[in-house]
Structure 1
Amino acid sequence: MASSSPRSSPTDNPQLLPLSDGHSPLSSVIYELSQQVQTGMENMLKMISEIDQSSGGIIEDIEKCKDSALERKRTLEEDKERFQKAAYSVLDMLNNRENN
């Protein structure tokens, strides 16, 4: 269905014409936006670098804690074996007393 109003062209509306200095409002907006995006990207790169540095320290701390936990586990296992041996020795002594 055809429209009864005549089509308007960009030249009919003086607000849509490019500015005389060669910069349209749209190009100014795009330029500003690109500057903001570039600034945002630079800030993100700085944050990524800081995160990488921090993560290195965190990974190092995790490894130290892991080593410490493994050492503690070994110590607890050794203590457990000693206590079990001592308990079995006491049980053997009590059994030998009852048998005598």
Structure 2
Amino acid sequence: MSFAPMPSIDVTALPADGFLLDVRESDEWQAGHAPAATHIAMSEITARHAEVPTDSRVHVICKAGGRSAQVTQFLIDQGVDAVNVDGGMLAWQACGHPMVSENGTAAGVL
């Protein structure tokens, strides 16, 4: 039995106007996230997946790529065009992409 590889994208190849779904927990989100990202924690995705757009590609991100890979597969199973962001927010931060925090402190990855 063979499985299709997980669709993924390098953080440097993300389209500027793409839909970015951050699936980290609330404390991670509050510490630092991409300015235009939408937050739905992995633990809430089954209940809230109707909030994810179905008319455009969804780029799923977490801290390093493990949780987002699971959510990407779940979304694909729901018929969503989803792709995992390789390296997650650690790669995002390493590339110097902008980040904002929700708690007024300097943004960073937990």
TM-score range, shorter chain: under 0.3
The structure having more radius of gyration, on CA atoms, is: 1
TM-score, normalization by structure 2: 0.15
Structure number with higher strand proportion = 2
TM-score, normalization by structure 1: 0.17
